Amino acid sequence: MYRKCLNCAESIKKNIGEFKPEIAVVLGSGLGFFADSIDVKFSLNYSDIPDFPISTVKGHSGKFLFGYYGGRAVAVAKGRVHCYEGYSAAEAVMPIRVLRLLGAETVILTNAAGGINDSFNPGDIMLIRDHISLFIDSPLIGANIDELGARFPDMSGVYEPRLKKCASSVAKSLEITLKEGVYAQLKGPQYETPAEIKALEVLGADAVGMSTAVEAIAAVHAGMKVCGISVITNMAAGKTKSPLSHKEVIENSKKAEKNFCRLLDGIVKSI
């Protein structure tokens, strides 16, 4: 796996030369619009990188953008792969490890999530305080990649306190209501049942999704600072009478577009 990630990084370097991203941003389902405001220097489709995992879901176009945002060197991963597509957790986090190998020290992980906390509404933005990854495989299963990090990495502060503070103060100054909570990752691809959502609620989850926790684990393992932001695109199963649909998820992510972009703008500029 390490060799595969190194090869991907080498192949990207052939395209981006000396460019070294400082901050990486992973844009989730329907949240790709942030990419439009980047001063793009290099753009690379995932499908042009040998051995790189490719997303198969509609609305998850897969490419890396390398360039500048507010004077900072950034790498944006527009689209990601998920375990429900048949990838292992270790394959799903390859983009994170490759971004680390390219030099990124901080990663902002974004996703669409279902709201479990009753005070949330579709269109809300939630800062991830912590996560629950008990229902998914660890991306660190298998021989440890010593070059990246320790066999038994500490997970007591996955979402970096300074970045959380930074996100909260940016939201405050922009008068954006930023909810905060615990994100639970499930395997999917089916949405949860109401009973599963009740169980997650008892466990302390505020939002649920199918990505991000594995990425955060891989990022912390590799020594990156992590910031996590969820856009609440729907209330989770059983919280409303209407059935869940991917269409609703995409539509509601658009509703949050403006504030999501303003928030990311402020965070990237103040990191």
Residues with a catalytic annotation lie at: 29, 60, 82, 84-85, 112, 210-211, 234, 246
Q: Which amino acid is at 247?
A: K
Whether the CB-CB separation of 112 and 106 falls below 8 Å is answered with no
- From the list 158, 191, 212, 215, which residue makes contact with ligand HPA (rule: CB under 6 A)? 191
We find the least distance from the C-beta atom of residue 231 to ligand HPA, in angstroms, to be: 9
Shorter beta-carbon distance to ligand HPA: residue 106 or 117? 117
- 192 scored as a contact of ligand HPA (CB under 6 A): yes
Bridge-based pairing state of the strands 106-115 and 72-78: unpaired
- 114 scored as a contact of ligand HPA (CB under 6 A): yes
Percent helix, strand and coil across the chain, each to the nearest 5:
35, 25, 40
Q: x/- binding map, residues 13-52, to ligand HPA, per CB under 6 A?
A: ----------------------------------------
Contacts of 54 (CB under 8 A, 6+ apart): 46, 47, 62, 81
- 229 scored as a contact of ligand HPA (CB under 6 A): no
- 200 scored as a contact of ligand HPA (CB under 6 A): no
Whether the CB-CB separation of 209 and 183 falls below 8 Å is answered with yes
Binding window for ligand HPA (CB under 6 A); candidates: 44-52, 96-104, 158-166, 232-240: 232-240
Q: Which amino acid is at 228?
A: G
Whether the CB-CB separation of 179 and 119 falls below 8 Å is answered with yes
**How many CB atoms are closer than 10 A to CB 223?**
12
Binding window for ligand HPA (CB under 6 A); candidates: 30-38, 47-55, 102-110, 205-213: 205-213
Whether the CB-CB separation of 227 and 267 falls below 8 Å is answered with yes
Q: Which parts of this chain interact with ligand HPA (CB under 6 A)?
A: 112-114, 191-192, 208-210, 233-234, 236, 244, 249
